[in-house]
Amino acid sequence: AVLGARTANDEGMAVVAQQREVDAALADIDVNPPLSDATKQRLREAFTAKSAARQRAEERGEGAPVRVYADGIYDLFHSGHARSLQQAKQLFPNATLIVGVCGDEVTLKMKGRTVLSHDVRLEAVRHCRWADEVVPNAPWLLTPDFIERYNIDYVVHGEDPSLINGYDVYMWLRVIDRYRTIKRTDGISTSDIILTIVKDYDSYVRRNLKRGYSAKDMNVGFVKEKLLQAEDTVKGVRRNVGDFLKMFNQQWHELVSPSLLRIADGALSPRSPRSEDDDTGGGGGDGGGGGNMTFGG
């Protein structure tokens, strides 16, 4: 009985300590619009309640179906996004992955302009093999109502912090053990892709001009367009001259060089034997002149 009383007392003290932690955390939350009293009360209840996933696992045993939620912007959907969703899907052996795609308005406000619209980003996620369900216009700040509406057991996110005015939006989920972290894929991100395009801006403008896009389509000025076209013309002339010289050099070696080599071979070959008469420089036999010839008076 004494042991039972101590255990109950310990559990009660733990609940009180946790509630104090919750109240302190809620007091630090500064979002616009502010959280309502009802939402804060729901958060308090969520902090002190047993995880729905843990309860279901206890009731149904290992391998029970688990609903996992991941959210993001997923602009210019790339391999890093796909790998993050793969990690989320494979956290549990029997997981259903729900993917939330944040809307244009909230993303513009919280992080900045996207390249692709919400509908295009949503469609890209729908075609990812790891996504079982997709939630459009996902909220930036998750609430207990949202978690219950989609029957979510665990929320996953990358290692980078998600803060609103310094507040970790996943903090309450960490406390009740319904949050899991997945690793970021190094070497690829939407920002890296945009940086590549910005860095090689002129090259991509030229590319699209050649494909039929107008300067107006790309918000490029008239002077800029003509300058790029002039540079392309100069490069084209240089390339044509280079090709001509290369062809000329090749034909020179194929046609002219062998002839010169034959001439050179003929000039350097051994001369045929000649007679002694040839060596005298002309004149005939016995009296042809030469060194023995005398002049009379």
Would you say 97 and 88 are in contact if contact means Cβ atoms under 8 Å apart?
A: yes
Strands 163-164 and 167-168: antiparallel
Lowest mean pLDDT segment, chosen from 42-46, 174-178, 192-196: 42-46
* Whether pLDDT at 277 is above 70: no
Q: What confidence score (pLDDT) does residue 150 get?
A: 93
pLDDT (tens digit per residue) in 182-241: 998 888 999 999 898 888 877 777 777 778 887 777 777 666 666 666 666 656 556 666
CA distance 122 to 39: 28
Which among 34, 284, 280 has a CA at the least distance from the CA of 165? 34
Q: How confident is the model at residue 246 (pLDDT cuts 50, 70, 90)?
A: confident
Stretch 140-152: mean pLDDT:
89
When mean pLDDT is compared over 2-16, 133-147, 213-227, 237-251, the highest value belongs to 133-147
Read off the tokens for 267.
Answer: 């000039």
Q: What confidence score (pLDDT) does residue 51 get?
A: 53
CA distance 110 to 167: 13
For residue 135, count other CB atoms closer than 10 A to its CB. Answer: 18
For 214, the 3-state DSSP assignment is coil
Q: Which residues contact 120 (CB under 8 A, 6 or more apart)?
A: none
